[in-house]
Structure 1
């Protein structure tokens, strides 16, 4: 059974089909790319997977369970986390607090314990802080823990967003254009980081990206969307030479 399966998923907005009968699957542990021209429907697929949108037709299964109709918080708690094309940190909170917030998805002390400041509350908060600091250390951000997130350089903001997503303890990580705005050196470092977190946290990863050097360098399989439909799938080598993919990106088939 695939960890994730989309079966003929369609999403319409007032008669406009943003996604049309998309079918794809991810096996546990895979690193899969989702590429296509601007407006192809890639981010819409992520929004469907995380409960932002509901499909008009089709099935979305995660570990065999249907996600259709689930709220985003429930999908996250089930084991799916994401980052965004435009970084969405809590910019006026510290680096440490951005990660601590993610851990509260798994907090064990209740509301009354928090209100009354019982020992279980303090133990729980201490445990969360220790875990958050350990995460920041993994991402080489521990020295920035007391800085406001908005004051971090762009590349470090990306790392913090990924750290926060991982702090929710996902099984499937959705990365939406993580290399956007990065220079070549930062992109190479990002490739190493993705490989590291995949191995370190036993993750399955679905990646949207326009940087083809990154996609071709780390993805085992690739799906290509165009006008909301899957037009190709296969290995990086197969995708690189696929006439439909070349036409979608360049407007013509090269000889």
Structure 2
């Protein structure tokens, strides 16, 4: 049974079919890419996977369970986390607070225990802080724990957003243009980070990305969208040499990158 099994999902906004009959499968520990021109429907696919949109038709199975139309927080609880093209940190909270808040899905205290500050509340607070600090250490952000997120350099903000997503303990991590705004050196570090996350956290990763060097270097499988429809899927080598992809998206220069 695949970890993720998307079966011919489509979504229509008024008279516009934004995504049509999109299907793909991912196994545990896969690193896959979703590419295509701007407006091809890539982020719309992510929004359907995370409960922002409900598919007009089709099925989304995660670990064999139907999640199409679930609320976003329920999908997070099932084991899917995401980052965004435009970083969405709580910028007026500290680095540590940004990670701690992601553990809300795992708390067991009820409202009364939290309000009355009963022993279990303090025990959970302690455990969450310890887990958050450990995660920050893994991402080399522990020395910034008390800084406001808004004061971090761009690359560190991106790492913090990924750390916060991983705090939900996902089985599948969705990265929406993680290399946006990065220089070539930062992009290379990101490529290494993505592989390391897969091994360290034992998860699958699906990314939307326009940087073809990153996509071709890190992904084992790539799906190409154009006008909401899949025009190609395969290995990086197959995609690089696919005439339809070159015509619609890559161009000759990128194809030979």
Alpha-carbon RMSD: 1.4
Runs of 4+ in 1 over 4 A off after TM superposition: 250-254
The residue number in structure 2 matching 1:106 is 106
Q: Distance in 1 between matches of 2:230 and 2:27?
A: 18
Q: Distance in 1 between matches of 2:242 and 2:250?
A: 12
Alpha carbons 2:133, 2:142 under 8 Å: kept: yes
Please give the per-residue CA displacement for 1:140-198, whole angstroms capped at 9, x wherever unaligned. 00011001101100000000000000000000000000000000111011111111111
The residue number in structure 1 matching 2:208 is 208
Unaligned runs of 5+ in 1: none
TM-score normalised by L of structure 2: 0.97
The residue number in structure 2 matching 1:189 is 189
The residue number in structure 1 matching 2:89 is 89
Q: Compared with structure 1, are the counterparts of its residues 251 and 162 closer, same or farther at alpha carbon in structure 2 (3 Å cutoff)? A: closer
Higher mean C-alpha deviation, range 107-116 or range 34-43: 107-116
Q: How far 1:69 moved relative to its partner?
A: 2.1
Please give the per-residue CA displacement for 1:95-131, whole angstroms capped at 9, x wherever unaligned. 0000000011101222111100011100100000000
Q: Give the number of aligned pairs.
A: 254
TM-score normalised by L of structure 1: 0.97
Other structure's SS at 2:231 match: strand
Q: Distance in 1 between matches of 2:35 and 2:231?
A: 11
Q: Distance in 2 between matches of 1:201 and 1:251?
A: 35
Q: Distance in 1 between matches of 2:185 and 2:60?
A: 37
Please give the per-residue CA displacement for 1:212-231, whole angstroms capped at 9, x wherever unaligned. 00000010010000000010
The residue number in structure 1 matching 2:72 is 72
Alpha carbons 2:53, 2:69 under 8 Å: kept: no
Unaligned runs of 5+ in 2: none
The residue number in structure 1 matching 2:240 is 240
Q: How far 1:250 moved relative to its partner?
A: 5.7
Q: Distance in 1 between matches of 2:44 and 2:125?
A: 36
Q: Distance in 2 between matches of 1:197 and 1:249?
A: 28
Q: How far 1:251 moved relative to its partner?
A: 7.4
The residue number in structure 2 matching 1:49 is 49
Q: How far 1:12 moved relative to its partner?
A: 0.5
Alignment map for 1:218-237 (pairs within 5 Å): 218-237=218-237
The residue number in structure 2 matching 1:25 is 25
Other structure's SS at 1:214 match: helix
The residue number in structure 1 matching 2:63 is 63
